[in-house]
Amino acid sequence: MIKKNKFKIGLIQISLSKDPDKNLKKAVDWITKAAKKGAQVICLPELFRSQYFCQSENIDYFNLAETIPGPSTEAISKVAKQNKVVVVVPVFEKRALGIYHNSLAVIDTKGKISGIYRKMHIPDDPSYYEKFYFTPGDLGYKSFDTEYGNIGTLICWDQWYPEAARLTTLQGAAVLFYPTAIGWHPHEKKEHGKAQFESWQIIQRSHAIANGVYVAAVNRIGLEKENSKTAGIEFWGSSFVADPQGVIIAQASADKEEIIIAEVDLNRIEYIRRNWPFLRDRRIESYQDISKRFLK
Amino acid sequence: MIKKNKFKIGLIQISLSKDPDKNLKKAVDWITKAAKKGAQVICLPELFRSQYFCQSENIDYFNLAETIPGPSTEAISKVAKQNKVVVVVPVFEKRALGIYHNSLAVIDTKGKISGIYRKMHIPDDPSYYEKFYFTPGDLGYKSFDTEYGNIGTLICWDQWYPEAARLTTLQGAAVLFYPTAIGWHPHEKKEHGKAQFESWQIIQRSHAIANGVYVAAVNRIGLEKENSKTAGIEFWGSSFVADPQGVIIAQASADKEEIIIAEVDLNRIEYIRRNWPFLRDRRIESYQDISKRFLK
């Protein structure tokens, strides 16, 4: 194991077509590009094999699912091994007959699957009908001690839950990856778009601050319409990396395909945690009611 | 009980002198002013009776403490009753011989003490030597169902802990008050000041977002030096109110005494929680390890 104090992460922000095979080929190409740019741990957007099918409830879309291991992890294992990179690979996972998860696999530099994470918090809002498709995760919160460093993995809606960020950090993660598919309802963008985007960025920067950890959010771009009659979702891109003080150190555009690279520096984590030692002062004996739904 | 869907909160941002009696009289005057401006629930800055004495460890400073009830709560009870307002009153609390807390009392519109909260998370950093003075709180997290609405109370360093905000919200609070004393070390301000301030604001806005609740941070202003040989702390004011989406709806200056008034609207909380129903999707059965120090 080559453990270093610093490693480079690469966030792949792309648009995705209706053709899963093209999307997989595109992902492989962009992983190669990211590796050439120096990225050592690379993350793809949530459910990158397809367009965001949760815009309606349609049992045919379960056909998009695949097993782990399966075609996505096999193709990406090859490119990971070739380039000696770690890759966070979101997968619409078919686990068993009629049991599906919104998952990710972490693939190591030898092309092996280090483990998987299954999205714990499942949304259900107009055009984000995920509760129809995804069984809630049952593996708890996960970090992976990769060749380059310890990485935590969460998925999209998890990002609104401070509990998830905390529980992943406490496993030793130096960076929390959030592969994501979030965008605007076109009819809402003008009135609510700015506040929605800011909330999304702030909540994730807050996880960096509260935990003294890097945060990397990886979103797709593009307008995806199920058909010509639907308004679709305009994915807002804007993938970013926040440092352990919540400062944004890398930021993608809202509408361009791009790779952003950032350095995760364990010395910076140590420095921030020494200066603002929030983890030191947690009152762990007072938190048990976090496991309650409501207290009235 | 006059319960309404809306109520107005008033945040009193002032400078504080070395004279505790003058500070109390000043607080009473400013509460009267805030009530005249329409504030119904009013909050003072942390430890408002004195300058921020935790800049050094000195046993004589324990003489600044008082009981609850005591002079501060008695004087403020009168002005609360006269103006029919609820007041959040920070107190350096002498609880017993040699047992002190960083506390607050909530005083109701009849001038009675509804209850107290004792700061749970105690910092200890250069010039913020609070662990020397304050025994950690033992009352847990508190909300108060006042005549105007349900308010949650936390104090300063608590603001860095998502657990504290969550546990207070789950008690039904519509707004979380954070009386605060935070500022820059003058020698650090140029290099680190902006990032420190932004972290402070972002973490609190994130509590608003994660919980769908208003957040009100109430800070003091002014440069306070223990003596002419010390650099002191430059308190950064900037008291603010965030709405349940994390949008800043009222913001004070960094260096002026002022009252900021904002409306807490239960319909807005309902609207935000319906649209982004984070409380609905908490995986409460998966959070038990929050009560652990670390997981490795």
Question: One of A94, A130, A142, A156 is an active-site residue; which one?
Answer: A156
* Total number of domains constituting chain B: 1
Rounded Cα–Cα distance for residues A169 and A147 (Å): 18
Measured distance CA(B246)–CA(A250) in Å, rounded: 23
The tokens of B271 are what? Answer: 């609207």
- Counted residue by residue, chain B has a size of 296
Q: A189 CB contacts (<8 Å, ≥6 apart)?
A: A234
In chain A, residues with a C-beta closer than 8 Å to the C-beta of B163 are: 162, 166, 282-283, 286-287, 290
User: Among residues of chain A, what percentage have pLDDT more than 90?
Assistant: 98
A278 in contact with B, Cβ within 8 Å: yes
Q: How many CB atoms lie within 10 A of CB B28?
A: 18
Interface test with B, best of A128, A188, A205, A209 (most B CBs within 10 A): A209
In a domain, B77, yes or no: yes
How far is it, in rounded angstroms, from Cα B295 to Cα A118? 19
- A191 is an active site residue: no
Asked if B170's CB is within 8 angstroms of A294's CB, the reply is yes
Structural domain contains residue A296? no
Residue A181: closest CA among A236, A133, A225, A232 = A236
Say yes or no: A209 contacts chain B, CB-CB below 8 A: yes
| DSSP state string for B142-188 | EEEE-SS-EEEE--GGGGG-HHHHHHHHTTT-SEEEEE---EE-TTT
Catalytic pick among B142, B147, B156, B226: B156
Residue A252 counted as domain residue = yes
pLDDT for residue A143: 98
Closest in A202, A207, A246 to B246, CB measured: A202
Does the beta carbon of B190 lie under 8 angstroms from any beta carbon of chain A? no
Interchain contact, B209 vs A172, CB within 8 Å? no
The reported pLDDT for the residue numbered A4 is 74
| Contacts of residue B282, Cβ cutoff 8 Å, sequence gap at least 6 | A121, A161, A163, A293
The answer to whether residue B287 neighbours chain A at the CB level (below 8 Å) is yes
Answer yes or no: is the ipTM higher than 0.90.
Answer: yes
**A233, two tokens:** 């979702």
CB contacts of A283 in chain B (<8 Å) are 120-121, 136, 161, 163
Under an 8 A CB cutoff, do B199 and A246 touch? yes
Taking CB atoms and an 8 Å cutoff, what residues of chain A touch B162? 162-163, 166, 206, 210
The token duo for B29 is 């005057």
Closest CA in chain B for residue A200: B209
* B 142-161 near A (Cβ less than 8 A): 157, 160-161
Which chain B residue is nearest to residue A204, measuring alpha carbons? B206
Q: List, for residues A172-218, the tens digit of each pLDDT value.
A: 999 999 999 999 999 999 999 999 999 999 999 999 999 999 999 99
Query: Strands B240-242 and B248-251: what pairing?
Result: antiparallel
Residues 213-252 of B with CB under 8 A from A: 245-247
What stretches in chain B show pLDDT beneath 50?
A: 1
Q: What is the pLDDT of residue A3?
A: 62
Residue A202 has its nearest CB partner, among B140, B209, B294, at B209
Q: What CATH number should be reported for the domain holding residue B264?
A: 3.60.110.10
Nearest by CB: A209 against B140, B199, B295: B199
Q: Which residue of B has its CA nearest to A168?
A: B295
Q: What is residue B4's predicted lDDT score, i.e. its pLDDT?
A: 74
Residue B105: give the domain boundaries. Answer: 6-291
Tokens 């749970």 belong to which residue?
B120
Cα gap B44→B220, rounded to integer Å: 9
The answer to whether residue A1 sits within a structural domain is no
The yes-or-no answer on residue A46 being catalytic is yes
Alpha helices in chain B (DSSP H): 20-36, 71-83, 130-133, 162-169, 189-211, 266-275
CA pair distance A63, A57, nearest whole angstrom:
13
Phi, psi of A46 (to 5 degrees): -55, 140
Q: Which residues of B touch A157 (CB under 8 A)?
A: 281
Reported pTM: 0.97
Is residue A39 situated within a structural domain? yes
Domain-embedded: residue B151: yes
Beta carbons of B161 and A122 less than 8 Å apart: no
**How many CB atoms sit inside 10 A of residue A144's CB?**
22
Question: What was the pLDDT predicted at B2?
Answer: 55
Q: Could you give the C-alpha distances from B19 to A114, B24, B84, B236, in angstroms and in order?
A: 63, 9, 28, 21
| Helix H or strand E encompassing A127 | none
Could you give the CA distance from residue A53 to residue A2 in angstroms, rounded to a whole number?
Answer: 40
Q: What is the pLDDT of residues A179-190, one digit of tens each?
A: 999 999 999 999
The CB-based long-range contact list for B21-30 (8 Å cut-off, 24+ gap) reads B23/B48, B23/B49, B23/B50, B24/B49, B24/B71, B24/B72, B24/B75, B27/B76, B28/B75, B28/B76, B28/B78, B28/B79, B30/B259
- Residue A160 inside a domain? The answer is yes
Contact A247 B195 (CB under 8 A): yes
Is B281's Cβ below 8 Å from some Cβ in A?
yes
**Each residue's pLDDT tens digit, A221-255:** 999 999 999 999 999 999 999 999 999 999 999 99
- DSSP-based three-state secondary structure for A245: coil
Q: What is the mean pLDDT of residues A55-68?
A: 98
Residue of A185, A188, A202 for testing the chain B interface, max B β-carbons within 10 Å? A202
Q: Which residue of B has its CA nearest to A246?
A: B199
Name the catalytic one among A26, A43, A46, A224. Answer: A46
The token duo for B151 is 């308010």
Name the amino acid, one letter, at B119: K
Residue with tokens 């361009």: A256
Left, alpha or beta for B38 (phi > 0: left; psi -120 to 50: alpha)? left
